Amino acid sequence: MLRKITQLVSIGIIASFMLVSVSLAADFTFHGASQFDENHAFTRLMRKFEQLVKLYYTGDKSIEFVMHLNSELGLEKDYFAYLNQGISVDYAVVAPSHMSTFSKLASLLDPPMLYKNHIHWSKVLGGDALDPIKADVLKRADVLLIGYGGGGTRHLIVNKPIQTMADAKGLAIRVMGAPIQTRMFNAFGMAPTTIAYAEVYNAIQTGVIDAAENEAAGIQQMKFYEVGPNIALTAHSITVRPLCFSNKTFNRLPKDLQAAILQAGKDAGTYGRILESSEDIQKLLQMQSEGKLKTVYFKERDALVKAAEPVLEAYFAENNASDVLKKIQAAE
């Protein structure tokens, strides 16, 4: 008898826990994904987005955010495919190149030498020049670009010092998958090849390539300095890293929550840009002071700019986006 009572009590306790669990389940649960840990600028941007959605939303539904860190759900290209399908990932920061299989225009957000400096970059991202690209991504990928992060300055990560165009000639370098990246580095006289981001370290280490290119946060996170300790300061690109949200998920939400998500995305993007651009040079100096890398002044950056001009004009024209380029260039 006592045993039966004990069993009934145990069942009652389990049932109570189950009821509490059900009652605590959020009305809306959103899943985010990051290749990096909590300290990376992309993750911090998304954490700010989560906070702002909760702040801005005035409805009576409960909201929960679940973040999958350290490539638990794959890489950015995988996240974008999930966003397109409306499964597994609802929001993520994704490099434009990983969107280019859906929208060719996406790769026009931050090709090398597009932005003159951070002032020009900031004015473009704060205006409407990029709206046609955003619309094309939504149309072709069913993904919303709700904010623009980024701000890291990309340099060359090389296993030997590079200071001139002659030094860089024929340099076997990893580039991202968008065609504009390959064309641009060919124009620089290098030998670009597309390799998955997760394989870059081993590719340099084993001599498959001699170089890659990245901003300080990526160099630090992935420890690229261990295999490419010479950072040639080419400053060939200022990054744009959109905060993406699945449109399939978005369309299932009430209007007041949609409004909160759109405003939170915009503001979190601004936060992320300030965060990453301000920390960028500090991270490089920190790694140099720790003896992890050596920064090498690139003497012929003007030659890179000159080589890039016809490539940019041709690529924007091929994508019927010459007006977009003109508007970007006119943002002063």
Q: Which domain holds residue 290?
A: 2-330
Alpha-carbon gap, residue 85 to 78, rounded angstroms: 11
Average pLDDT rounded to a whole number, residues 255-270: 98
Q: Residue 12 corresponds to which tokens in the numbers above? A: 């009652």
Q: Decide if pLDDT at 14 tops 60.
A: no
Taking alpha carbons only, the member of 118, 90, 130 closest to residue 265 is 90
Burial class of residue 107 (count of CB atoms within 10 Å of its CB; 0-12, 13-18, 19+): buried
pLDDT of residue 18: 41
pLDDT, greater one: 24 or 301: 301
SS percent in the chain: helix, strand, coil, step 5: 55, 20, 30
Rg for the chain (alpha carbons), in Å?
23
Give the number of domains in the chain: 1
* Dihedral, 109, 114, 116, 121 alpha carbons, nearest 10: -10
DSSP state of 116: S
Which residues, including other chains, have CB under 8 Å from residue 34's CB and lie 6 or more apart? 40, 42, 43, 46, 67, 68, 69, 70, 92, 93
pLDDT of residue 332: 74
**Angle at Cα 123 formed by Cα 328 and Cα 95, nearest 5°?**
70
Which residues, including other chains, have CB under 8 Å from residue 63's CB and lie 6 or more apart? 26, 27, 28, 29, 30, 53, 54, 57, 257
Average pLDDT rounded to a whole number, residues 119-134: 97
Taking alpha carbons only, the member of 205, 199, 204, 165 closest to residue 185 is 165
Are 149 and 93 in contact, with CB atoms under 8 Å apart? Answer: yes
pLDDT of residue 254: 98
pLDDT of residue 107: 92
C-alpha count within 13 angstroms, C-beta hemisphere, residue 112: 32
Q: Decide if pLDDT at 39 tops 90.
A: yes
pLDDT of residue 317: 97
Model confidence at 15, in pLDDT bands (50, 70, 90)?
Answer: very low
pTM: 0.86
Report percent pLDDT > 90 for the chain. 90
Report percent pLDDT > 70 for the chain. 93
Q: What phi-psi label fits residue 235: left (phi over 0), alpha (psi between -120 and 50 degrees) or beta?
A: left
Cα 151 from chain centre:
10
Alpha-carbon gap, residue 269 to 310, rounded angstroms: 31
pLDDT, greater one: 1 or 317: 317
Coil, strand or helix at 158: strand
Are 107 and 179 in contact, with CB atoms under 8 Å apart? Answer: yes
Per residue in 285-303, pLDDT tens?
Answer: 999 999 999 999 999 999 9
Model confidence at 275, in pLDDT bands (50, 70, 90)?
Answer: very high
Per residue in 64-78, pLDDT tens?
Answer: 999 999 999 999 999
Coil, strand or helix at 32: strand
Per residue in 170-182, pLDDT tens?
Answer: 999 999 988 899 9
CATH code, domain with 202: 3.40.190.170
Per residue in 207-247, pLDDT tens?
Answer: 999 999 999 999 998 999 999 999 999 999 999 999 999 99
Q: What are phi and psi of 218, to 5 degrees?
A: -70, -40
Q: Decide if pLDDT at 160 tops 50.
A: yes
Angle between helices 118-125 and 255-289 (to 10 degrees): 170
Taking alpha carbons only, the member of 214, 236, 237 closest to residue 224 is 214
DSSP state of 71: T
